[in-house]
Structure 1
């Protein structure tokens, strides 16, 4: 597992080095490498995130001047939906308000040692479980685009946008289908048409002029690429 980047945001400046040291020690016992970066201001961390400087884990106090921890977590999630949030706070009465940001844990400052140990165990279990493959690239504005490789059924190009379609949702992004094809071909995505990139695992059947998907939807198939598409499909079936 690669080095894990961790942001710690708390206006109690004396707590920051203590929390950083505790996290690093625990990760070391699990044979994991981590980098901790302290922030004594929520605004400072927010500005860091707005520049697309992301972390894997965020330890956030709730009662912080300027921008409270929950509002900060919402901003982080808007930019990086895969961010892992852990609250470290004396505001126990706000625990239910944190649920909308889907935190991994809530550490009470008045039960710091016990809660922190439990939180670290939860974090390690999460990090060590098999994770879904996610491909990340930048859109035309430099914003990160994260594609869940296994969940995505197909991608459709329409006007200046690409529509990433899964069983439960459709996401619109602004980047070229050629870039997406280059990034996703190693994961068995097939360019079946100039406007369509399809995940092989969701193809039920190749018909003369279209592809039938497992959920019953169809996408058009390029006549010029028909032979190449069939060949790729057979290769993937046999491997």
Structure 2
């Protein structure tokens, strides 16, 4: 799935782009989830509330916070280099201003489907080829860990512990939030308190798994059947 944000204060532009992206998703068999914002501040607040996107279409000329200011906050303040940013504008005179934001492309209004499609496919290739990261907020700091290094997540009251191959960290959040971010990356929700990376399951038993660090984690009774079915699919259908 490709999570996309469109941010432009002109309703006609957001509507047109939204329709184009839905059409391109269908054409290329890609599930797209699109959120539309009409101001930079609105999008910034949404991101600050622990929401993330794979691709952001960002208008430059907006009144409350222009696209350049928002792009700099995403890149510098949030230290987010993985989100692809595509700028849209009625002017062509912003190239040097955008240099340090490293946008994937720059589209001139009015938008044309063939240009949006080219950008869409480029973003898809980049996103699919990059290492996947789990991003989380700890205090006022944004952190990210390569998902392939995470052995499991553990819920401890309102705190989520992240156990990796080499370290342990924690942040305040919910397991449902974590699962929504990693469910397509080979993680299994074996228990309300444990979310494990299939890559590090050393042994699978009826009621528990043994991880590569020799930690045994329980599989809740209500999830045992579904976990077995998922594991069979992940290893290619073998018993």
The reply to whether residue 60 of structure 1 matches residue 54 of structure 2 is no
SS in 2 for 1:99: helix
Structure 1: give runs of 5+ residues left out of the alignment. Answer: 152-177, 192-231, 233-239
Conserved 8 A contact 2:54-2:127 = no
In structure 2, what is the equivalent of residue 202 of structure 1? none
1:143 CA drift (Å): 4.8
The corresponding residue for 1:92 is 92
Within a 5 Å distance, the mapping from 1:38-187 to structure 2 comes to 38-77=36-75, 78-79=77-78, 80-110=80-110, 112-129=112-129, 131-139=130-138, 141=139, 143-148=141-146, 179-180=161-162, 182=163, 184-185=164-165
Q: Is the 8 A contact 1:108 1:115 kept in 2?
A: no
Q: What displacement does 1:134 show?
A: 2.5
Q: Tell me which structure has the larger Cα radius of gyration.
A: 1
Cα pair distance change 1:97/1:53, threshold 3 Å: same
Count matched residues: 160
Whole-angstrom CA distance in 1 between matches of 2:142 and 2:132: 16
Q: Alpha carbons of 1:90 and 1:74: their partners in 2 closer, same or farther (altered >3 Å)?
A: same
3-state secondary structure, aligned to 2:103: coil
**Structure 2 unaligned spans of 5+:** 150-159, 169-212, 214-239
Report the CA distance shift for 1:123/1:190 in structure 2 as closer, same or farther (over 3 A).
Answer: closer
The structure 1 segments of at least 4 consecutive aligned residues displaced by more than 6 Å after TM superposition are none
The aligned counterpart of 1:216 is none
1:62–1:91 contact (8 Å) kept in structure 2 = no
The 5 Å alignment of 1:199-210 reads none
Distance 1:54 1:135 in 2: 10
Separation (CA, whole Å) in 2 of partners of 1:52 and 1:117: 28
- DSSP-derived class of the 1:127 partner: helix
- Are the structure 2 counterparts of residues 97 and 110 from structure 1 closer, same or farther at C-alpha, using a change threshold of 3 Å? same
Give TM-score, length-normalised by structure 1.
Answer: 0.58
Structure 1 residues 37 and 190, CA gap change in structure 2 (3 angstroms): closer
Question: Structure 1: how far apart are the matches of 2:7 and 2:95?
Answer: 17
Deviation larger for 44-53 or 60-69: 44-53
Deviations 1:12-34 (A, max 9, x none): 11111110110121122221111
Q: Give the TM-score normalised by structure 2.
A: 0.58
